[in-house]
Amino acid sequence: MKQLISYYRMPGDREKEISRLIHAEGLDGVENLIYGSQAGSPPFLQITVGTHLRYWPYWMDFYEGNKDRLFEIFTNQDNIRQMYGAEDREGWIQVIRANIRAALAEKPRYLVWHVQESTPEEAFSWRFRHTDEEVLAATAELYQFFRDLIPDGVFILFENIFWPGLYRLEPEKVEYFFTRLDDPAHTGLMFDSGHFMITNPDLTSEKEAALYIRESMKQLGEMRSLVKGIHLSCSLSGAYIRQFRREMPVPLTNQVMMRHICSLDHHDPFQTRAAREIVEAIEPDYVTHELFGNTFAEAVEKARKQALLVTEARETQVYHSV
């Protein structure tokens, strides 16, 4: 099992320096966030283990050509083009393919793809137009347009989000999705612990979160083997979920949206042996510590502490309520 940290390359970053920083803290490499269409120059081949692809929270109306809905949200074609990088579905598919090529230039062992669908309004109202099955069917259909790019030995791992898609990872929906993907040699799951915790606002402690996740993994049965990696972070955001107003703020600025998302998805490090319990329940190949920090060095320090919780001897650990 490799322990990684989520990493976004900044201008001036040097692979040797990043490598020295992460390896000094006992980490094995990075999951590189690749959101553009150009490969890094040079690519970080020595430290990159996985890459996280660009994602679009709201995409199904664009994919299906629902122009009336798009104009309700974006008001004009220029805004639509800015959002998707293209005029239409065919152009957008080329944007996705270019992003995948850029990610593959880093020679990763896996790629991460978000499975989700939410308009800005739905992100606040939590009244969603699309069901999990509709999002899963559309995602599986979209995958067929770029599956030819995935090399042998590389997985594309589909990540659960707290919006329609792989919401609670119910076994029947996971089976539905992977049957339609129809590519077992190249596809799997990236389990995001923080996202999954958001689906149960009654959770009040890390211990409860670990039990919730362990039970869900048990429900998956043999399909648990689809989970190749974990994005490990803690989001006990039930209090916020229960109290925020179920209507879209006006005006809705990027700052307001980001404050809302971060109030849901904390990206906090675990503080207890719950981290190890979650990892043991899944037995992944990769654990990516996906944590917020004011600097990358701060995120690495948080990852170091969380990684120790994952690896230290079980008999030395004690649960603490949080």
Selection from 69, 24, 31 nearest residue 53 by Cα: 31
Mean model confidence pLDDT for the chain: 96
Phi, psi of 226 (to 5 degrees): -70, -25
> How much is the pLDDT for 134?
99
Task: Find out whether the peptide bond into 151 is cis, omega within 30 degrees of 0.
Answer: no
pLDDT tens digits for 132-142? 999 999 999 99
pLDDT tens digits for 187-233? 999 999 999 999 999 999 999 999 999 999 999 999 999 999 999 99
pLDDT tens digits for 241-289? 999 999 999 999 999 999 999 999 999 999 999 999 999 999 999 999 9
Compute the distance between CA of residue 227 and CA of residue 229 in angstroms, rounded to an integer.
6
CATH architecture under which domain 2-316 falls: Alpha-Beta Barrel (3.20)
Other CB atoms within 10 A of residue 184 CB: 9
Q: Is pLDDT of 310 > 70?
A: yes
Compute the distance between CA of residue 109 and CA of residue 153 in angstroms, rounded to an integer.
7
pLDDT tens digits for 83-106? 999 999 999 999 999 999 999 999
> How much is the pLDDT for 318?
43
> How much is the pLDDT for 320?
42
Give the contacts of 169 (CB within 8 A, at least 6 positions apart). Answer: 160, 189, 191, 196, 216, 220
DSSP3 helix / strand / coil % (the chain, rounded to 5)? 45, 15, 40
Compute the distance between CA of residue 108 and CA of residue 33 in angstroms, rounded to an integer.
11
Reported as a pLDDT band with limits 50, 70 and 90, residue 319 is very low
Other CB atoms within 10 A of residue 200 CB: 15
Q: Is pLDDT of 313 > 90?
A: no
> How much is the pLDDT for 317?
43
Compute the distance between CA of residue 158 and CA of residue 229 in angstroms, rounded to an integer.
10
> How much is the pLDDT for 107?
98
Q: Which pair of structure tokens corresponds to residue 234?
A: 């803690």
Reported as a pLDDT band with limits 50, 70 and 90, residue 236 is very high
Reported as a pLDDT band with limits 50, 70 and 90, residue 312 is confident
% of the chain residues with pLDDT over 90: 96
DSSP state string for 126-191: ---SS-HHHHHHHHHHHHTTTGGGS-TT-EEEEEE-SSSSSSS--HHHHHHHHHHH--TTTEEEEE
- Stretch 78-85: mean pLDDT: 97
- Stretch 110-137: mean pLDDT: 98
Compute the distance between CA of residue 125 and CA of residue 314 in angstroms, rounded to an integer.
42
DSSP bridge partners of 231: 192, 288
> How much is the pLDDT for 39?
87
Residues in the chain: 322
Q: Is pLDDT of 296 > 60?
A: yes
Query: What is the reported pTM?
Result: 0.95
